[in-house]
Structure formats: structure tokens, C-alpha cells
Amino acid sequence: MVTEQAYAKINLTLHVTGQRADGYHLLDSLVVFVGVGDVLSAKRTGIGALTIEGPFGHDIPLGADNLVLRAAQAFDGADITFSLVKNLPPASGIGGGSADAAAAIRAVLRLRAAGTVPALTVNDQARLADLGADVPVCLLSQPSRMRGVGEILEPVAVPACWITLANPRVEVPTPAVFRALTQKANPPMPEALPDWPDVAAFTAWLARQRNDLEGPARAIAPVIGTVLAALTATKGALLTRMSGSGATCFALYATQALAEAGAAQLRAKHPDWWVAPAPVLAGNPIPRQL
């Protein structure tokens, strides 16, 4: 048996820079992963199957369209049984489904190779794209600049910091958010990203960037504005923003104590929200040869 962590993916920035003729949107996004996520276990049983438990397990379909099963099928893992502990809220802008699919791929490859994940081939990369735009970056699970439709990845060094995530338990469908985006050709991030000496410089730079989907998402789910205001009101919050297409929002902090205090404040005022403090994973937490 192997176990893989499916870390939450956070879009610190998300610039929508265009739209291709096939409808796919072009992005320029600074992505990090944080120390909270789903957990996927896998073993070769000769049977392709999936069981799901955890706080959000009842919200995830078990049919053939489940991303874990689709990913396993795409990478010749039809004889593997998976068990998923679903800790991340679905349809929340933090890549939960994509992270689960990426974890399934890593698990299949590790089982096939009896250990470290081998390097991916060109054909593997094509199969990744078919599973979703966020799957390639989730497979790596390290700070990255993500461009194109998610296939152009560049590792990025980010300062050590902490984050608190907050989701009002409202699902915001990504296609609806993109449909509501009226301006599709927006400026990208600067071509050369700076070297940030500390979290203060990092968040000051981030504040000059954008999430172009925040406005459309707030129009669909106005409660996102309430979540952002609540995060901004926490002590030590250096930056607040929505991740992905929402509705999860985040605040960045310099220390663990501030992040945990902010999370406690949110839970006290909004006990019905999902709230999670976590470290930003500045390196590559998953040893492999991708």
C-alpha cells in the first residue's frame, strides 16, 4: 500500500490573459501548496474501486467520472483500490479534485515502480491535460508560476509564511465564474518575478497583482465579500484574496501564531464556515522524479 498527500492548491494570483479558439482560458498564476489536504491510500487488489470518508466525503460522487478513478484509468491503474479521506471542501477554488487526481497518478506510478515516482513521458503529459488544467501543477505540488492553460510550469521560490483558509461552505462552479468574466484579455504578471527577501516584501508585491475571477465569483456568491472582510479584520493579516474561482479565501501571515489566532477568531464568529490554518509549503514536499 502507498499513501499520498493531496495538498490544497492556492492561487496567490490569477490573471486571465486570453481565451483560445477552443474555449480554454489562458492564465498567468502564482500557485502555492499548503499543509492541509486530502489523503489518498492505494493498493493493488486486482479491482478498480474507490471508497471515500472524511468531513466532505458525502459530497463526492463515486461514479466513473470521479477524478481519482479517471486518473487511475488514464495511467493504467484500473486494478488498484483507493481510499480517500476528503478533508477539503469541493468546488472551492483550492484544487481539491485536481490534487486528488494527481495523488492517484503518483500512487499508481509508485506502485508500478515499487517506490519513487518515475519521470513522466510526453504521452503522460498529454494525459494530464485531459484530466484538468490544475492537475499538472498539483502533480508537482510545489510553488510554481502556471501559464498557458496550466501546462507551462516554472518553479518559484517563495518566503516562509503561514496562511488561513476560509470557505463559507458555498460551492461556486468554475464554468459559471468564467462565463461571468466579461474581460478575457487582461495583463499578465511581470515577465520577471522578483526575489522576495521576506514575507513583507512578498505580500506587498502580491497586493499589486490580481485574481481576475474574484469579481465574477462575488457576483455569483456575495458571501465571498463577507469572508474577505472577516479575514482582513484578523490581526497580522498581510494580504487577503480569493483563491481560484472561489469561494475559498485566504489571509497570509508572518507566523504560525498569527495564522492560528486568525483562524480561531473566524471560527468563533462564523462557526458554520470551514476554516484551516496551515504553513505555506515553500519547497517540494513530495520526493519523486517528475
Rounded CA-CA distance 261/267 in Å is 10
Rounded CA-CA distance 241/119 in Å is 35
Residue 40 near residue 83, CB atoms below 8 Å: yes
Rounded CA-CA distance 7/141 in Å is 7
What amino acid occupies position 272?
D
- Joined together, the cell numbers standing for residue 199 give 514575507
Residue 128 near residue 135, CB atoms below 8 Å: yes
Q: Say what the alpha-carbon torsion angle 25, 69, 78, 74 is, to the nearest 10 degrees.
A: 0
- Joined together, the cell numbers standing for residue 101 give 487526481
Where in the sequence numbering do the catalytic residues fall? 9, 134
**Sheet with 274-279, edge to edge strand ranges:** 239-242, 249-253, 162-167, 274-279
User: CA angle 286-238-182, nearest 5°?
Assistant: 85
Q: What is the residue whose three cell numbers read 456575495? A: 222
> How crowded is residue 236: how many other Cβ atoms within 10 Å of its Cβ?
15
Closest CA to 14 of 204, 200, 144: 144
Question: Strand 152-155 to strand 144-148: parallel, antiparallel, or no bridges (unpaired)?
Answer: antiparallel
